[in-house]
């Protein structure tokens, strides 16, 4: 890479805010990083958190990414059916040194043909759907396969960003950024994944949210 590293995030309506802002916060501190948020139009992008994000570029004006990052969110289902979005991902990925996703952004990579035969991960509620885009699920928070890096749900985007910074500029740079943002997690409950969460909590959340959400995702992927 050159001294300047162009990092392009895809933005779309219904994006999960932290899928974008967590890795963006860490990556923005990498020496030489220049971030862009690209959307189909310059209109504000409604997030799942009740506020909007203003893109810096539309698809036509976005710079070629050195690092392409595709966040997730419930809006992925609509984005899967948007030809301009999928074309933008494919075009950018062809020239990127690193192609990455957070959470269900993996399905956008997959729909663009980028996960065929690759090991990958996504949010735990959707991992069973990865074979629909030609990927092999690997049970890990961060999965690297060549220049493709996928990460699990939401907060894993921060781990992904620090992992990638270490690959590009070394452990010391990544550790300094981790220290600067005081990323020293000590969650109040040891239950951020179904492997560790109480069974009743996992079952309740699946019934309320993820069974139906995964069914909608599957229908979109099969359509």
69 in catalytic set = no
Q: Measured between alpha carbons, how far is 135 from 132 in angstroms, rounded to an integer?
A: 7
Per annotation, catalytic residue among 53, 99, 103, 148:
103
Gyration radius from the chain CA atoms: 17
Place of tokens 């928070």: 141
CA–CA dist 40, 11 (Å, integer) = 8
User: Quick check: helix, strand or coil at residue 58?
Assistant: strand
Alpha helices in the chain (DSSP H): 17-27, 76-80, 83-95, 105-111, 156-169, 171-180, 199-205, 211-222
Token readout for 155 is: 């907060």
Q: Is 14 exposed, middle or buried (0-12, 13-18, 19+ CB in 10 A)?
A: middle
Annotated catalytic sites, by residue?
103
């Amino acid at each position: 890479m050159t001294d300047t590293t162009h990092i392009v995030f895809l933005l779309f309506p219904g994006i999960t805010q932290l899928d974008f802002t967590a890795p963006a916060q860490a990556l923005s501190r990498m020496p030489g990083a220049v971030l862009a948020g690209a959307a189909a139009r310059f209109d504000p992008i409604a997030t799942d958190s009740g506020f909007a994000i203003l893109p810096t570029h539309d698809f036509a004006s976005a710079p070629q990414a050195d690092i392409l990052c595709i966040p997730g969110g419930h809006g992925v289902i609509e984005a899967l059916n948007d030809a301009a979005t999928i074309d933008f991902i494919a075009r950018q990925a062809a020239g990127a040194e690193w192609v990455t996703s957070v959470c269900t952004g993996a399905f956008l990579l997959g729909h663009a043909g980028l996960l065929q035969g690759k090991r990958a991960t996504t949010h735990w509620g959707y991992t069973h759907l990865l074979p629909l885009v030609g990927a092999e699920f690997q049970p890990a928070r961060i999965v690297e396969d060549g220049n493709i890096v996928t990460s699990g749900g939401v907060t894993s985007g921060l781990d992904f960003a620090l992992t990638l910074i270490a690959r590009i500029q070394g452990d010391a740079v990544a550790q300094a950024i981790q220290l600067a943002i005081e990323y020293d997690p000590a969650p109040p409950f040891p239950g951020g994944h179904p492997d560790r969460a109480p069974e009743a909590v996992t079952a309740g959340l699946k019934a309320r949210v993820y069974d139906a959400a995964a069914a909608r995702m599957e229908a979109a992927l099969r359509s």
